[in-house]
Amino acid sequence: MKKTLLATAIAGALGASAAAQAATTVYDQDGTKLDVYGRLALAVTTGGVQEDGDVKSDGSEFTDLGSRFGFIAEEQVSQDFSVFGRMEFRADMDEKSDTEFQVRNTYAGVKSQTYGQLWAGNFDAITYQAGSVLFDVPENAGWESITSVDNQSHGDSIAYKSPEFAGFTTWLQGKHHTGNGSNDPAREGAAETERESSTISAQAAVSYEQGPFYGAITWDQDKHSFSGSDNTPDYVGNDEDIFGAYASYQVLPALSLRAGYETQDENEELGARGTDIAMVGFTADYMDNAQIYGQYAHVDEELGDEDETLNRWMLGTNYFFSDQMYAFAEVYQQDQESLTDDTVEEEFRSFDDDILTTVGVRYDF
């Protein structure tokens, strides 16, 4: 019933197998298996930062927190070789909606115990699967990351994960950015862009697991690439490498600790800020079917002479009614931005200002 952080992180690093842990098998015959899985996560939020001049955002609201359903198929071709596919869809489940589902994960691949795993399509970035997933603990706000889940991923991507050797696993990924849709600058009425060439933005990671310890280092090229159309030219990527280092340790059967660091240099030419994030967190079990968890992140952003520092934290607890269903409550302090120079001492703001409170329930199947 309880879920320790280390187990959750390692499961997340296994991609589709993490979702399969809570899945229901609807077909399993002659080496072919089909699982169905899903999540219903609903909550009420109140508070948070209210910017002057913006529409009201700090009142109470019933909201969806990532509800989804999906399918995982796998066929055992031989003792060492299998093929697999996954489709996942999301939608806001807190109210009636006529909008389309969001396609979240759609990919197919091959897996070998000897040679590793290769897959292509639309999926979470390997920098997330191998590293930053350690801090994807809050149900709502409180996870700080430069790369998040989908930076230079979620579409037109291919990845490889090696077999484990002496506790080490290697991860590689490339995302293809097409130049199709970019403008010919000589064409009348065209936007002020140029015809772009196709390019690939790469990622890599190395993870290590030994007993109660799990760690990973990650790299994301974050190449500046065309991502738009003839009418709406757009670009993604800051053209500066993103590096990350993460670790989790199961100190006691009921207590795990985690730490992480992410960094990316600024790119003044693109007007992109440099960011450094230092993170620590914990998860503790109590009463056999409940947890308390918390995280703190020191965020430093720079662009030219501007220096913005934020101290962000969250604290939460949950209670499991069963293996599939639990209730949770969380508080999060965003710590509003403040433009300072390097001589100004960084400090926490008022403890009770702009606290975001979330109370909800989640059912996994």
Mean pLDDT of the chain: 84
- CATH code of domain 5-364: 2.40.160.10
The average pLDDT across 194-222 equals 91
pLDDT computed for residue 346 by the predictor? 47
pLDDT computed for residue 324 by the predictor? 92
For residues 12 and 69, the model is more confident at 69
The alpha-helical segments, DSSP class H, found in the chain are 5-12, 16-20, 126-130
pLDDT computed for residue 12 by the predictor? 43
pLDDT computed for residue 344 by the predictor? 42
For residues 329 and 349, the model is more confident at 329
**Per-residue pLDDT tens over the stretch 175-188:** 988 777 666 555 55
Distance, in Å, from the CA atom of 343 to the CA atom of 334, rounded to the nearest integer, reads 23
The helix/strand/coil state of 130 is: helix
Domains of the chain by residue range:
5-364
- In this structure, are residues 48 and 58 in contact, taking their beta carbons and an 8 Å threshold? yes
The average pLDDT across 85-110 equals 86
pLDDT computed for residue 145 by the predictor? 94
Distance, in Å, from the CA atom of 329 to the CA atom of 315, rounded to the nearest integer, reads 9
The average pLDDT across 156-174 equals 97
Distance, in Å, from the CA atom of 141 to the CA atom of 111, rounded to the nearest integer, reads 35
pLDDT at residue 13 greater than cutoff 50: no
**Per-residue pLDDT tens over the stretch 226-248:** 776 555 566 778 889 999 999 99
- In this structure, are residues 309 and 285 in contact, taking their beta carbons and an 8 Å threshold? no
**Per-residue pLDDT tens over the stretch 314-341:** 999 999 999 999 999 999 998 755 444 4
- In this structure, are residues 361 and 349 in contact, taking their beta carbons and an 8 Å threshold? no
Main-chain phi, psi angles of 185, to 5 degrees: -60, -20
Query: What count of other Cβ atoms lies within 10 Å of the Cβ of residue 55?
Result: 6
Distance, in Å, from the CA atom of 240 to the CA atom of 353, rounded to the nearest integer, reads 34
Query: What count of other Cβ atoms lies within 10 Å of the Cβ of residue 224?
Result: 19
Q: Compute CA 25 distance to the chain's CA centroid, rounded to the nearest angstrom.
A: 26
pLDDT computed for residue 223 by the predictor? 87
Main-chain phi, psi angles of 19, to 5 degrees: -65, -35
